[in-house]
Structure 1
């Protein structure tokens, strides 16, 4: 199944439909937040006040994430208010046009998991399943998209950079010990 997803042209064709659907979900969510304004403060405060906890014991399920929200995200809510909608829109755009497809799927999954850790179920499990398929497919998911042109271009320039000696440590020149006089 992995080989089929990662190498088959028919799978690449089906993945176009899948990534456009998932991409549209992200682009639409990000666009509305960018257009209408977005303030995550209430959501973040709610995630701190009502963290995901075990019903039987009352223990926090994701205590480190709750701490991150309280001490990292909430004090920097203005940055979060920009990063979330912009990230959603860029993930959606990347998936729709098939540019940096696997990276776009990865960052979409990252946001889905963060929303789940904060206690929001919504469409996140569905998008995790579909986005995971796109990410697992890797470059084949963008075969019929910008990745068809982008990935060979990047590979060519990375290889050229390596050939020219860029990025490599030059060999150490050994000087033989001098004979004592």
Structure 2
């Protein structure tokens, strides 16, 4: 197998002995930006709606949905619904998490961290809304992959604050902080 020299718009990754290589189109940055902004808008709107409506409660969802849909994680969802301190946490974490993830994506700030938590929430929604009657891929799964793509492509560096944050001395001195940005 011949090795290519990475150039402009070229990306490459090796995982488990397999190398994949690709060349992005010059418009790719615009589409990555569009994905970031779309998910930011959707999550900010969803979170703000829950916050402004007041009294968001995940108890009914957690306690009922997994028990009725053949969910492989039914026991975990039942535990979450029947553990008061955890349910109290979820009732705050979901609306505020959605709003903060959305705001971070819209601003392009700490994008990888926001996208990670967005993907994690979508994974939980995927299992909560479990239905494989039409296959394993549904909207929740697709949105999880969109969040992961936003993180992988460093979407916060495209017209986002992450490009500015990376120039801060604290980030330069603590390289691990770059993993939160991007």
Query: TM-score, normalising length from structure 2?
Result: 0.68
Q: Between the two structures, name the one with larger relative contact order (CA 8 Å, sep ≥ 6).
A: 1
Unaligned runs of 5+ in 1: 54-59, 160-181
1:13 to 30, 34, 37: 30
Report the number of matched residues.
149
Tell me: CA distance 1:48–1:123, structure 2 relative to 1, closer, same or farther (3 Å): closer
**Aligned CA-pair RMSD:** 3.0
Whichever structure has more strand as a proportion of its residues is: 2
Q: CA deviation at 1:9?
A: 7.3
Residue in structure 2 matching 1:93, options 103, 125, 130: 103
Instruction: Determine which of 138, 143, 148 is the counterpart of 1:127.
Output: 143
How far apart are the structure 1 equivalents of 2:39 and 2:52?
20
1:1-181 equivalence runs, <5 A: 3=11, 10-37=27-54, 38-50=56-68, 52-53=69-70, 61-62=72-73, 65-66=76-77, 68-70=79-81, 72=83, 75-119=85-129, 123-137=139-153, 139=154, 141-143=155-157, 144-153=159-168, 154-158=170-174
Larger helix percent: 1
Q: How far 1:108 sits from its partner (Å)?
A: 0.3
1:48, distance to aligned residue in structure 2 (A):
4.9
Question: Residues of 2 paired with 1:47 and 1:21: CA distance?
Answer: 27
Distance apart, 1:115 and its partner CA: 1.1
